[in-house]
Amino acid sequence: RKELVRNKGVRFEQRYQIHRLLGRGAFAKVVECTRKGSEDRYAAKIIEKGSMDRKALEKEVAVSRLLEDHPATLPCVYDVFEDDDNYYVVFELCRGGELFERIVKKKHFSEREAARYLRTLLSFVAHAHSRGVVHTDLKPENVLLLHPVAADADDDKVFIKVVDYGCSNFCADGEFLTQPYGTPMYAAPEIFKSCFDKSADIWSLGVISHVLLVGYAPFRGVTPEEIKRKVIAAEYDLDGQGWQSVSPAAKAFVGAMLQTRPGARPSAASLLRHIWFTQAQESNTSLR
Ligand code: ADP
Ligand code: MG
């Protein structure tokens, strides 16, 4: 195994040329860059020292390494820098933008295509859970396309990466976590009240599935408090706008994940065997 390169005394800018801002999250900004002396492009995550400690940073790198044998894991390229203000971690570059930008723009989007993305996401989560890792920040902004594709290209050829292991945590079976979770819109109800475990990722996948199938999130509101209240009350409607063209199997699939009681949610591994995946294979009806 390659060791983490800490580049003592070397500044990030000495080794990499920054090209443009790719995105911004709660803790970091991510820039596109090239390694000087080569044509190779990467994504560097720049984390302000005040917002994350070294331990959290090392955990992010460790999670990427631990899960990198799954194709949807974003590989870290083992280049880590530190100066007075920031940490810099270099990752593989995803050139295709966020998955959900693509889906929103796409005219024809079928259950078969939605199922393919969700199967990849579930397979990633099953892999993470089997290694004792809970992602805790699964949301559309953290699912990226590896390559750019034409607007109406076949989704069967699109590769996705689940990014952002900044909030991830190790949580064995029977253990619980209490640290704050990502965005309320994707957070499971128990997160606001008590501790949570792997099953919180399943809830977030339920919210993502909802977005993929009908184009909007189940829990919406003007303020985070309003969203939080709706999540706690499990106030969502699988008969609302857009659901008329969705199959009963797909609805059952989403409903299974969006259950208030954490223990009632199926595991990622068992959801991969859900009947919807067999049925959706044949369905090419447009959702939108
Ligand atoms: P944070 O921990 O602050 O949320 P993220 O790791 O989620 O930071 O990155 C913030 C945003 O930067 C992402 O939502 C995405 O749009 C973009 N981004 C992150 N990693 C990459 C990458 N490897 N390639 C391209 N864009 C990326
Ligand atoms: Mg993020």
Alpha helix positions (H), the chain: 12-15, 54-67, 99-105, 111-130, 189-193, 199-214, 224-232, 248-257, 268-271, 275-280
Residue 149 C-alpha to ligand 1 middle, in angstroms? Answer: 19
Asked whether 227 and 221 are in contact (CB, 8 A), the reply is yes
25 alpha carbon – ligand 2 mean position (Å): 5
**Cα(186) to centroid of ligand 1, in Å?**
17
When mean pLDDT is compared over 197-201, 278-282, 284-288, the highest value belongs to 197-201
Give residue 6's pLDDT.
74
Distance in angstroms (rounded) separating the CA atoms of residues 100 and 64:
23
Q: Does residue 274 line the site of ligand 1, with CB under 6 A?
A: no
pLDDT per position as a tens digit, 29-74: 999 999 999 999 999 999 999 888 888 888 899 999 999 999 999 9
CA distances from 258 to 77, 152, 201, 235 (A): 36, 31, 11, 10
Question: pLDDT tens for residues 165-207?
Answer: 988 999 988 999 987 767 899 999 999 988 999 999 999 999 9
pLDDT tens readout for residues 97-153: 999 888 878 877 889 999 999 999 999 999 999 999 999 999 988 999 999 988 878
CB of 154 within 8 A of CB of 106? no
Q: Is 162 in the pocket of ligand 1 (CB under 6 A)?
A: no
Handedness of CA 276, 278, 279, 283 (dihedral sign): positive
Average pLDDT for residues 236-254, to the nearest whole number? 96
CA–centroid distance, residue 97 to ligand 1 (Å): 10
For atom 11 of ligand 1, which residue has the closest CA? 23
Q: Whose CA is nearest to atom 12 of ligand 1?
A: 23
* 78, 4 Cβ separation under 8 angstroms: yes
β-strands 41-48, 86-92 pairing:
antiparallel
Q: How confident is the model at residue 1 (pLDDT cuts 50, 70, 90)?
A: very low
| Rounded distance between C-alpha atoms, residue 288 and residue 277, angstroms | 19
Looking at ligand 1, which residue's alpha carbon is closest to its atom 1? 25
Question: Mean pLDDT throughout 245-267?
Answer: 97
In terms of phi and psi (left: phi > 0; alpha: psi -120 to 50; beta: otherwise), the region of 252 is alpha
| Cα(257)–Cα(210) distance, integer angstroms | 10
Instruction: Decide: 63 in ligand 1 pocket, CB within 6 A.
Output: no
Residue 45 annotated as lining a ligand binding site: yes
Which atom of ligand 1 is the closest one to the Cα of 98?
16
pLDDT value, residue 3? 59
221 pocket-lining for ligand 1 (C-beta < 6 Å): no
Instruction: State pTM to two decimals.
Output: 0.94
For residue 155, name the pLDDT band (cuts at 50, 70, 90).
Answer: confident
Closest atom, ligand 1, to C-alpha of 94: 24
Residue from 163, 183, 208 whose mutation best tests the ligand 1 pocket (most atoms within 8 A of CB): 163
**pLDDT of residue 2 exceeding 60:** no
Q: Could you give the CA distance from residue 70 to residue 99 in angstroms, rounded to a whole number? A: 18
> Which pLDDT belongs to residue 103?
82
pLDDT at 257 over 80: yes
Look up residue 48 and give its DSSP letter.
E
Residue 283 has a pLDDT of: 74
- Closest-CA residue, ligand 1 atom 5, reads 164
Confidence of residue 4 (pLDDT cuts 50, 70, 90): low
Dihedral of the alpha carbons of 132, 136, 164, 95, in degrees to the nearest 10 = 100
Catalytic positions, written as ranges: 137
Q: Is the CB of 140 under 6 A from ligand 1?
A: no
Distance CA 238, CA 241 (A): 9
